Amino acid sequence: MSPSKCSRLLLPLLMLICLQSFSQSSAEQKKQDQYNQLKSQIESRKFRFHALSATSMKGMTRQLTSDYFLKLNKDSLSVDLPYFGRSFTTNYPPTDLSIEFKSTQFSYKSDTLKKGGWEITIVPKNESNASKMSLSITTSGYCTVRVSNNSREPISYYGTITDYDSN
């Protein structure tokens, strides 16, 4: 086989390898940029949790079609999440059981996990619908929020962390 034939066969193969390497590094860069943005949001305490599903203690999961959220903006917390579960107190007439409140009085603790991601604990003060909220956030922006309350069964939500200003 002549050198020119050999180079004509190898050239497309080398181009393919180079393009694949470039696309992998581009994907890695995009992933790193997303991680850095998420890390910045967590550190600045300015992010939004968008709930996609809710799971009760009985294991029943409901897909959420409305815009339910938890928004944190430094020293203010805004929560609008549905509640499906058992309540240990009764109100007559029955009232809306959703977890909906705004507060500027809460404690916030963030821990970085060894395998990546964050564990955040928010304890609202003087709030009857939620005594403790725990957020487990992955490095790719997925999040599980667990809400505890003394008068209700706990409930968890699954969703994503987005920019605070997003809808």
**Nearest alpha-carbon partner for 148 in 67, 88, 73:** 88
* Phi, psi (degrees; rounded to nearest 5) at 61: -105, 135
Q: Bin 126: left if φ > 0, else alpha if -120 < ψ < 50, else beta.
A: left
Determine how many CB atoms are found less than 10 A away from the CB of residue 2: 7
Contact between residue 34 and residue 141 where contact means Cβ atoms under 8 Å apart: yes
**pTM here?**
0.79
pLDDT tens-place values along the chain, 167 residues long: 555 565 666 666 666 676 565 555 677 888 888 889 999 999 999 999 999 999 988 888 999 988 999 999 999 999 999 988 666 566 555 566 688 999 999 999 999 988 889 999 999 998 877 889 999 999 999 999 999 887 788 999 999 998 877 65
- What are the structural domains, with CATH classification, of the chain? 45-162 (2.40.128.410)
